[in-house]
Amino acid sequence: MINKAKHQEMIKKVVHNIEKVIIGKQEAIYLSLVSLLSNGHMLLEDVPGVGKTMLVRSLATTIGGLYKRIQFTPDLLPSDVTGVSVYNQKTMEFEYHPGPIMANVILADEINRTSPKTQAALLEAMEEAMVTVDGKTYTLPNPFFIMATQNPIEYEGTFPLPEAQLDRFLLKIKLGYPSMEEEVQILDRLQNHHPIQDIQQVIDLNQLMQLQQLAKEVFVEDSLKRYVVEIVNATRNDNYIYLGASPRGTIALLRAARSLALLRGRDFVVPDDIKYLVIPVLEHRIILKSDARLHGLTIEQILHAILKKIKVPTTVSK
């Protein structure tokens, strides 16, 4: 078991290393690490060219994990993701040829451009950390992390992710455009070559799994567990919400809060950890009624209103 000072130093190294490539997006970096430490998966929804691919590549390099990119297209087949069994005439047996899903860090690029059948090929992998090919089950590498991207602007030729698929993403975030000052820094860094070529591995997979275990051990007071349940339950009873978050959303919010507390240098969760994560954890799990759209309300606004209504626990002690 690593000590507190050592694991905080590891986290700082990881964040600093990724910031060499991703400028001005510390929140996105932290949320990516929250998802990774929680053994979850993340959905990045944003316009092209804001650094989604670079974030995934730099994260994979930083932890020393095997990185694979799957470019989702309308003609992509499930076997192109999971792999295939090929008959070997010499051994007279079928041999499994792994697909790109057999990696530590997966970039599922433009996931909404492929058919629902291929999207469904990810369901078992994301939930069970295994794939089944021709009746045989194969365990995925550990750690296993999927970061999927989708473009929110172009809808022609796309297949919106079903609720069952969305619910399996721990977090959904947006990177957004850089500020003018940050964009000048990007130009300076790219003058000679891309900084992704310079970053090195700073921790190994065993150290990452130690951090994941530490995140599971972060203390959560009973009143905070109830606070999480009250927030999620409120999404099921709001007049403007057609479909609230499921119990999987409750579990995800608590898991993410533990990881965030660890990243912030604590071995216990405080209410601010939970409040900070409500939007990225719950927003994509909720469907609004038509009344909400008529009144110009967004899911984010409704979640903020829910947080204001629920009493925050005042006694949090370890």
pLDDT tens, position by position, 164-203? 788 889 999 988 888 899 889 888 888 888 888 888 999 9
Q: What is the pLDDT of residues 282-300, one digit of tens each?
A: 999 999 999 888 889 999 9
Q: Is 304 left (phi over 0), alpha (psi -120 to 50) or beta?
A: alpha
Neighbour tally for 316: CB within 10 Å: 16
Mean pLDDT of the chain: 89
Lowest-pLDDT choice from 5-9, 52-56, 258-262: 5-9
Q: Is it the case that residue 144 has pLDDT exceeding 90? A: yes
The average pLDDT across 120-126 equals 82
Residues 302, 240 contacting (CB under 8 angstroms): yes
pLDDT band at 156 (very low <50, low <70, confident <90, very high): low
Radius of gyration of the CA atoms of the chain, in A: 20
Higher pLDDT, 241 or 164: 241
Predicted confidence at residue 210, as pLDDT, reads: 92
Residues 33, 170 contacting (CB under 8 angstroms): no
Q: Is it the case that residue 105 has pLDDT exceeding 90? A: yes
CA 20, 173, 255, 313 torsion-angle sign: positive
Write the class of the CATH domain 218-309: mainly alpha
Q: Is it the case that residue 316 has pLDDT exceeding 70? A: no
Residue from 126, 230, 130, 139 nearest 168 by CA: 126
| Start and end residues for every CATH 1.10.8.80 domain found in the chain | 218-309
Rounded Cα–Cα distance for residues 266 and 215 (Å) = 10
| Start and end residues for every CATH 3.40.50.300 domain found in the chain | 4-208
Q: Is it the case that residue 32 has pLDDT exceeding 80? A: yes
For residues 251, 254, 257, 262, the Cα torsion angle rounded to the nearest 10 degrees is -100
The average pLDDT across 296-305 equals 94
Predicted confidence at residue 114, as pLDDT, reads: 87
Q: Is it the case that residue 260 has pLDDT exceeding 90? A: yes
Provide the angle, in degrees to the nearest 10, between the axes of the packed helices 299-309 and 271-282: 150
Rounded Cα–Cα distance for residues 78 and 118 (Å) = 5
Q: Is it the case that residue 155 has pLDDT exceeding 70? A: no
Q: What is the pLDDT of residues 213-222, one digit of tens each?
A: 999 999 999 9
Predicted confidence at residue 2, as pLDDT, reads: 46
- Tokens in use for 186? 């990007």
pLDDT band at 207 (very low <50, low <70, confident <90, very high): very high
Rounded Cα–Cα distance for residues 58 and 197 (Å) = 9
Fold for the domain defined by 4-208: Rossmann fold (3.40.50)
Q: Quote the pTM value.
A: 0.90
Q: What is the pLDDT of residues 39-97, one digit of tens each?
A: 999 999 887 777 888 899 999 999 999 999 999 988 999 999 999 988 888 888 888 89
The single-letter code of the amino acid at 152 is P
Rounded Cα–Cα distance for residues 189 and 192 (Å) = 7
Residues 124, 130 contacting (CB under 8 angstroms): yes
Q: Is it the case that residue 204 has pLDDT exceeding 90? A: yes
